[in-house]
Structure 1
């Protein structure tokens, strides 16, 4: 009797081993979308997809359509669209790197047309990189890559530019120690959308949590560190209220117009100028003026 039971058990085990487990699904190959392998120095019309390999080095697979993905940096609050998603070409040269706990968060506007939906903003991203990498003799900026670390569309979408670790090309004197963020559009006479400014503040907060920015960082407009109208007069006047104690927490170290005249930006209500005051050369409130020594 025992032998019969043992034989029955053995036959049952063999029969079970012969059957595929219903819990294990066969691996299905990912269908390759339509597209081409192209030189990675070319802006992709859709998105680059790194999971599909190309036969030649320095090539990447470019799809016809956009496949939107997040960098994962701030996914707890909002996504940051990857460079591959918007079709970015590789930098013309390797970019320098920055450390962590940076002290400066500098805000820009792109000028030109704004974008109100993702499709428009994706095109604006490609156009911006094209303009930034175009040689200066051809009317471009002559940068190795798009100059900003992050860019934000009118619909609130945040795009990865250089990302939070690469040295920027947006504010000379600060490029190696700041995060430069650009809102897409011209905000000289109009304000950015609420969606865009909400994403700007969320990005500022997220980068502190991630350790990219110091919790004691200082927020500037581009005009605070360069002789420019950027990020637009209307927008600039609203930034103090939006960023509170972060706004000018640290005084700008470089201000070209005042420094070019041999002066220093000082508060006229707190100090006396051992020389003469000159207006229009310093950023911030009206009581901040340029003191030029005699």
Structure 2
């Protein structure tokens, strides 16, 4: 693509500084995003894209360009934005924040509208950066995971093509409408759960009772709070899988509830777990199954991780099918 000479020259002058901005912003944001679990991606503006953007007539002067360097932080939902904006305001000099849905948009229009932070590198004494680096504005986009997926999928299909096709624009808008629908469902997830009709499903009902029984043991102080699993859903899955290993598929729902109820009764009667701080909640279940707490309860077909806690706290001396750590 041919580039007007003045645009080319201006870009060539600032390009080395963009490399500096890229390194500094990336080295600041990437480690933080990794720690928070947010995907991060940065890029310098391509010359061809910049030239076409300037030809749009939307800019009066070079200093108005705010995305010569831009990066993206992808969040699960829009509720995570405030945490990121707080960090950005501390790490950089804030120029402007353009919140989602802050620009005028007709109700029948669907387009990219994520929150964007425009900032500069703070001119801190002792910071070994060229002075010009603190004059470059850069943009941090904060799309949700659904928005980011939509943008990645549709960008090349719609905006980097050799034609202008109304149908492509329409399809991109339809996909964005689907994204907004998904976002609405997620943002009101708990409220929406209440209006979803529920179908009978013995396995799900059994897992729900497992969670309720063991959570009650913690809430009443029969089992220490430290034993609470990181995921109650995963804990229920594991208890159910253990039960199914000795009871079979059809009997598993009833046997799982029977097992959880029996464990609850034994703990309430005998105690001994209020001060337990080591191991996991699931090891309580494994120990009691190993002791034959219910009819036909067995560990023979279930892979168990051997541990000191199973031996010392739950009196399980031998595991029939131990997990192999490959040496």
TM class by shorter chain equals under 0.3
TM score, norm. by length of structure 1: 0.28
Computing the radius of gyration from Cα coordinates, the structure with the larger value is 2
Larger helix share, 1 or 2: 2
- Greater strand share, structure number: 1
Question: TM-score of the superposition, structure 2-length normalised?
Answer: 0.26
